[in-house]
Amino acid sequence: MGKVSLNKSVLIISLLIISQISITSIGLSNIPIQEPQKVEELITLAKQYESAGNANQAVYYYDKAANAYWRANDFRSAITYFEKAIENIEKVGNRNGEKLLYINLGLLYSEIADYTHAQKSFENALNIASSSGKKEDIGQILHNISTVQIEQGNFQGALATLSKTESIAQEIGDQKLLRNVYYNYNRAYEGLKNTEKAAEYFSMYAMLTKKIQAEEIRMKEQQAKAIVDSAGRVVHQVVQEKEQTVKKLAETSKELEEREQNLKEVEKLTREQQMQIELLNAEMKLRDAVIQHQKLLQKVYIGLILFSLAFAAALYYAYVQKRRANRLLKEKNAEISRQRDAISRQADELRELNALKDKLFSIIAHDLRSPLFSLITMLNIAKEGHFTPESFKEILDELSVNVNHTTALLENLLTWAKTQMHGVKVNPQNFDLNQLVNSRIQLLNEAAESKEIKLKNNISQGAYVFADTDMADIVIRNLISNAIKFCNAGDKITIWNSVGGGKVTVCVEDTGMGMTDDVLQKLFGTQITSTPGTKNEKGTGLGLILCKEFVQMNGGEIWAESQPGKGSKFFFTLPTANV
C-alpha cells in the first residue's frame, strides 16, 4: 500500500511540472496557427457550398478565408469575404454569429480608416446585441462606436455614446470596460480643447488601470501560492510515507533478527544442510529488504528534486508577472507626468494671455477714448459756430491726425485679436515686393510729408517672394509707420533688399532718433510697450508684435539694429518665390 501511494505522489509532482512548462511555452510562443488549407481552397469550398444552398458551411469557409487575409494584413480582401459570410449567415438566421461578423467588419474598416463604414458595421452589431439584451456585448460595441466617432472628430457624439457605455459598465461591474470609457472621455475632451475635463478623466483612467493591475497581480500571486501549497502537501505526504516505510523496515529488521535467533536454535536440532538452506533464505530476504529501501530513498530524492523544480518555476513565473506589471505602471506614471507638464504649460500661456488682455483693455480705455471724446467735443463746438474758418482748418488738421492714429490703432487691435482667436490662415503666393512697397509708400506719403520726411523705395525690380500678401503688407506698413513716428523734419526713410540663401531680406532704414540697447532688447518680446514719437504720436505697442508673428508664420525672421541719434534698421526675411 505504501509503494502505491508513493508512486501516486511522484506522479502528481510530475504533472505539476509538466503543467508549468506548458504554460510557459504558450506564453512565449508567437508562431501563428497555420490554416489546414490554402486561402484559395477555402474560397473555392465556400463558393461550392454557397452554390449548393448550404449557407451554414459557406459561412464557415468564408469566415476562415477572411481571417486568413486579416492575419496577412490584406484588409480589403478580409472585408470582402466577411461581407460574403454575412450574406450567407442572414439566410441561416444565426444572429449571434452575424453580430460577431459585423464586429470584425467594423474593426477592419477602422484599420483602413474608413470610419463611416466602421460605425455602420458596429451599429448593425449593436442592433443585434440590443435584441438579445446582453449587456456585456452592448457595452463593448458602444465603446467601439465612441472610438470611431472620436477618429471622425464627432466629439459631442462620442460623449453621448460614452455616457451610455459608462452606465452599462457600472451596472455589470466591468472595470476594464469602464477604464476604456475613461480613456475615450479623455480623448474626446482633448478634441474639444477642454483640458480640465480631459485631465480629470485621464486621472480616473490611470487610477482604475492601477487598481486593475494590482488585482491581476494579487490573483497571480494567489495562484502561485496555491501551486506552492499543493506541492507542499504532496511533499508532506511523501515524507509521511517515507516514515512509514522506515518503520516497516525496522520491523522487518527486528523480525529478521528473531528468525536468526530461531535459526540458531534450529541449528542445534537439525542437520547442517537444513541450517544452510535457512541461512540462504534469510540472506535473500535481507537483500530484498535492502534493495526495497534503496528504491524507496531513490523515489524520495526524485520527488524532492521535482518539487524543487516546480517551486522554482512558480517563483520565476510570479517574478516575471510582477516585473511586467511594474514596467506597465512606470510607463503609465510617465504618461501622467507628461500630461501634467502639458497642462502646466497651458496654464502659463493662459496667464500670459490674460495679462496681455488686461494691458489691451487699458490701452483701449486710454488711447481710443481720448481721441474720440476730443473729436466729439470739437464737432459740438464747431456745430455751435464758435470757430473761425482759419481756426477750423487747424482743428481739422489736428482731428485728421487723431483719426488716423485711432484708425491705425483699431486696425492693429483687430488684426491682433484675429490672430489670437486662431482665425488667421497663411495663404502664400508669389508677388512683386517692389509693387507692394510702392503702394504702401503712396498711402503713407502724406503722413511723411507732414513731418517733412522723405520716403524712398530701393527694392530691386523683379524681387518676387512667396508669402501671404496681406501679412507682408501689414509688416511693411507698421515698420514704415514706426520709422515716420521716430523721425524728425529732414530725416530720410529708405526701404531696400538683398537676396541670398533662398530668401529675400528686406530692410526699413531711417535716420531718426535711434534706440538704446535696453529698448532694442525689448522690441519683439511679449510685453506691450509704447513710446511717444517725435511729435508726441501715440501707439499701442502691438505693431511689432504683429510683425514678428506674421513674419514667423511665413517662415521668416525679424530683427533690428540701432544706435541713439544714428537712426534704426529693421530687417525681416521672406522665402523667395517659387519658379
Calculate mean pLDDT across residues 480-497: 93
Task: Quote the pLDDT of residue 120.
Answer: 95
Confidence of residue 23 (pLDDT cuts 50, 70, 90): very low
- Structure-block grid coordinates of residue 535: 511729435
Higher pLDDT, 421 or 206: 206
Radius of gyration of the chain (CA): 45
Residue 328 CB contacts under 8 Å (≥ 6 apart), including other chains:
213
Higher pLDDT, 25 or 224: 224
CA pair distance 430, 463, nearest whole angstrom:
10
Give the count of alpha carbons within 13 A of 51, CB side only: 6
The least confident of 131-135, 188-192, 201-205, 259-263 is 259-263
Confidence of residue 296 (pLDDT cuts 50, 70, 90): confident
Task: Quote the pLDDT of residue 393.
Answer: 65
Calculate mean pLDDT across residues 518-540: 71
What CA–CA distances, in Å, run from 68 to 42, 104, 253, 349? Answer: 10, 13, 71, 51
- Please, what is the average pLDDT of the chain? 81
For 576, which DSSP code?
B
pLDDT digits (tens, 9 = 90+) for 423-472: 568 899 999 999 999 999 998 988 899 889 999 999 999 899 999 999 99
Task: Quote the pLDDT of residue 33.
Answer: 35
For residue 51, the tally of other CB atoms under 10 A from its CB is 9
User: Is the predicted pLDDT of residue 16 greater than 50, yes or no?
Assistant: no
Calculate mean pLDDT across residues 210-230: 81
Helix (H, G, I), strand (E, B) or coil at 383: helix
- Structure-block grid coordinates of residue 159: 460623449
Query: Which residue reads 476594464 in cell numbers?
Result: 176
User: Is the predicted pLDDT of residue 529 greater than 90, yes or no?
Assistant: no
CA pair distance 555, 541, nearest whole angstrom:
23
For residue 369, the tally of other CB atoms under 10 A from its CB is 10
Task: Quote the pLDDT of residue 15.
Answer: 33
For helices 195-269 and 272-363, angle between their N-to-C axes, nearest 10 degrees:
170
Higher pLDDT, 423 or 177: 177
Which residues share a beta bridge with 430? Answer: 466
Task: Quote the pLDDT of residue 10.
Answer: 34
- Structure-block grid coordinates of residue 467: 508669402
User: Is the predicted pLDDT of residue 293 greater than 50, yes or no?
Assistant: yes
User: Is the predicted pLDDT of residue 8 greater than 60, yes or no?
Assistant: no
Confidence of residue 5 (pLDDT cuts 50, 70, 90): very low
CA pair distance 268, 239, nearest whole angstrom:
44
User: Is the predicted pLDDT of residue 386 greater than 60, yes or no?
Assistant: yes
User: Is the predicted pLDDT of residue 41 greater than 70, yes or no?
Assistant: yes
Task: Quote the pLDDT of residue 262.
Answer: 73
- Asked if residues 476 and 436 have their Cβ atoms less than 8 Å apart, the reply is yes
Task: Quote the pLDDT of residue 503.
Answer: 95
Confidence of residue 20 (pLDDT cuts 50, 70, 90): very low
pLDDT digits (tens, 9 = 90+) for 273-285: 676 777 778 788 8
Calculate mean pLDDT across residues 497-510: 94
Calculate mean pLDDT across residues 64-89: 94
φ, ψ of residue 555 in degrees (nearest 5): 80, 25
| E strand intervals along 333-473 | 429-432, 454-458, 464-467
- Structure-block grid coordinates of residue 507: 530692410
- Asked if residues 541 and 529 have their Cβ atoms less than 8 Å apart, the reply is yes
User: Is the predicted pLDDT of residue 17 greater than 50, yes or no?
Assistant: no
The top-scoring range by mean pLDDT among 145-149, 238-242, 327-331, 396-400 is 145-149
CA pair distance 463, 473, nearest whole angstrom:
15
Task: Quote the pLDDT of residue 21.
Answer: 29
Confidence of residue 371 (pLDDT cuts 50, 70, 90): low
User: Is the predicted pLDDT of residue 417 greater than 50, yes or no?
Assistant: yes
